[in-house]
Amino acid sequence: MIPINKKLENYYVRHQEMTGNLTGKLSHKFSHFRLIKTLKGEQQEIEEAEQGFRRLFHNFRKILLLSSFQSAMMNSLAMIFMLIIILVAGLNVQNGSMTISSLMAFVLYILQLLEPISELIKILDDLAEVNGVAKRTKQLLSKSDEQELCHVAPVQEGSISLKDVSFSYPGQKDPVLKNLWLDIPTGQNVAIIGPSGAGKTTLFSLLMKFYHHYNGSIRIGGQELRALSPMQVRQMICYVPQENTLFHGSLRDNLFYGKNKAVSEERLYEVLEELDLVEVVEQLPNGLDTVLSDSGHGLSEGQKQRFNIARALMSNGEIYLMDEVTANLDLVTEQTIVQAIDRLTVGKTRLTIAHRISTVQQADSILVLNEDGSLDDQGSHSELLMRNSQYQQYVSELKKVS
Ligand SMILES: Nc1ncnc2c1ncn2[C@@H]1O[C@H](COP(=O)(O)OP(=O)(O)OP(=O)(O)O)[C@@H](O)[C@H]1O
Ligand SMILES: [Mg+2]
């Protein structure tokens, strides 16, 4: 029974993995069904889902076969065992060492044993399933908690300094960021520019402690980032991501999400007012309580972007990281939003990945990243215009767009 049980356990582990992969893929694809329809990808999706379900079915068939074989074998063994006992008892009756009534009692007791034995067989199968699930759960639980990696130390301000920082993504040889040296004092407004894929978003990911295995040293507020807890870092950093994500749920739930739970209603309205969102909220059927299905379906991309900015600006942080935050806004709305962000983040350190000329012109300092993830130059708009040809080219491209 032990080797069969081991095999069953492996099939149950595979079953868990396959179900997880399939449901993850399906729910991701369902949330993008309009794109799938536009690209005429229905047939491809049907085929891929069919393949996934077929693999799941084959694996489950093996589970059924093995567990039926196991229970048939156990039942047969139990039957053989009982037959032998009845045979021995029958011989005893024949040679007079046992009475017929004792034999009858004996047979009745044995019949009572049948049910517990079949229960035992069922339990063996359940046990293999539980072991399979437990193995997968153990794998997940064995991932170390990022909290445990750090010692908490107090941070007073929002300066950022990088000393010879290089980073490559896990499993990749080539570095995405190469030998970066930076010094950003508290309260500075810094714009970051560079070609697509230069590592701008990656730099933000490092500052938010999503990756630990970089070379060199990163300091936030004078403290080594490695020594700070991720909770502490993310409490002091307010981040607006490149993609506009609103969760399924009401607009209110989205805005008061996570660390924003403690923010007051007054602060929310102050931010909404600044970002010109009060009217947008009033036009929604249930105001702030309107439920956004499909990650913000029913709002325009520009509105989603402004609500994303509002969510990041509601809580008070020392550092604001903004990844292309005005990408989906028209020029007029952009001006309003940029000024609002200026007012709401006054005195705080701000790093903005920029794609508009106004953002770079207004910045105290501009970082120019090369395609290979190294730092090309750092300086003010006028300084860079005088000395950096890549910057001059970038600015003339931006001027053409705006
Ligand atoms: N999670 C990841 N795993 C592996 N490689 C990644 C990952 N995220 C990004 N990269 C790679 O790292 C490089 C830098 O990506 P990053 O997103 O930082 O660029 P970016 O400068 O923000 O570009 P864009 O302006 O297009 O947003 C790219 O070559 C990208 O393919
Ligand atoms: Mg990016």
Name the residue among 245, 181, 176 with its Cα closest to residue 205: 176
What is the residue with the minimal CA distance to atom 5 of ligand 1? 169
With a 6 Å cutoff on the Cβ, whether 197 touches ligand 1 is: yes
Give 304-337 pLDDT, tens digit per residue: 889 999 999 998 889 999 998 777 777 777 888 8
CA of 97 to the centre of ligand 1 (A): 87
- The per-residue pLDDT for 211 is 92
Which helix (H) or strand (E) is 2 found in, with range?
A: helix 2-30
The count of other CB atoms within 10 Å of the CB of residue 362 is 16
Q: What is the mean pLDDT of residues 191-216?
A: 93
- 176 Cα–ligand 1 center, Å: 8
Q: Which pTM does this prediction carry?
A: 0.80
Residue nearest to atom 2 of ligand 1 (CA): 169
Pocket of ligand 1 contains residue 202 by CB under 6 Å: yes
- Ligand closest to Cα of 323 equals 2
pLDDT digits (tens, 9 = 90+) for 31-55: 888 889 999 999 999 999 999 999 9
The answer to whether the beta carbons of residues 191 and 369 sit under 8 Å apart is no
Query: Which amino acid makes up residue 67?
Result: S
How far does the centroid of ligand 2 lie from the alpha carbon of residue 32, in Å? 21
The reported pLDDT for the residue numbered 64 is 93
Pocket test for ligand 1, best of 178, 200, 370, 397 (most atoms within 8 A of CB): 200
**Ligand minimally distant from the alpha carbon of residue 371:** 1
SS3 string of 367-385?
Answer: EEECCCCCEEEEECHHHHH
Tokens describing residue 2: 């032990």
The pLDDT value recorded for residue 151 is 62
pLDDT, position 148: 59
- Does the pLDDT value for residue 155 go beyond 80? no
Give the model's pLDDT for residue 139: 82
Cβ(193)–Cβ(369) below 8 Å: yes
**Residues 370-393 pLDDT 10s:** 999 999 999 999 999 999 888 888
Average pLDDT over residues 260-268: 92
Share of the chain above pLDDT 70, in %: 96
Tell me, using a 6 A CB cutoff, whether residue 176 lines ligand 1. yes
Let me know: does 229 contact 155? Beta carbons within 8 Å: no
Query: Residue 115 — very low, low, confident or very high, per pLDDT cuts 50/70/90?
Result: confident
- Phi-psi category of 295—alpha, beta or left, where left has phi over 0 and alpha has psi -120 to 50? left
Residue 297 confidence (pLDDT): 62
Greater confidence, 70 or 26? Answer: 26
> Does residue 296 surpass a pLDDT of 80?
no
Paired with 166 in beta bridges are 215
- Other residues' Cβ atoms within 10 Å of the Cβ of residue 81: 13
For atom 17 of ligand 1, the residue with the nearest CA is: 201
C-alpha 283 – ligand 1 centre gap (Å):
37
Q: What separation in Å is there between the alpha carbon of 245 and the centre of ligand 1?
A: 18
How many whole angstroms separate alpha carbon 227 and alpha carbon 401? 43
Does ligand 1 come within 6 angstroms of the Cβ of 283?
Answer: no
Q: Contact at 8 Å (CB) between 195 and 166?
A: no
In short, whether 196's Cβ falls inside 6 Å of ligand 1 is yes
Ligand 1 nearest-atom number relative to CA 203: 18
> Residue with the nearest Cα to atom 1 of ligand 1?
169
Mean pLDDT rounded to a whole number for the chain? 88
Token pair in block for residue 42: 């229905």
Residue 310 or 78, more confident: 310
Quote the ligand 2 centre to 17 CA distance (angstroms).
31
Ligand 1 within 6 A of 175 CB? no
Say yes or no to pLDDT of 149 above 70.
no
- Cβ-contact 67, 125 below 8 angstroms: yes
Instruction: For residue 278, give every residue at least 6 positions away whose Cβ sits within 8 Å of its Cβ, in sequence order, or none.
Output: 269, 272
160-167 and 177-184 beta bridge pairing: antiparallel
For residues 182-195, give the mean pLDDT: 93
200 CB near ligand 1 (under 6 Å): yes
Question: Residue 199, Cα to own-chain centre: how many angstroms?
Answer: 20
Binned at pLDDT 50, 70 and 90, residue 182 comes out as very high
Closest ligand, as measured to the CA of 196: 1
- ∠346-351-352 over CA atoms, to 5°? 100
Q: What is the residue with the minimal CA distance to atom 19 of ligand 1? A: 197
Contacts of 166 (CB under 8 A, 6+ apart): 175, 177, 178, 179, 180, 214, 215, 216
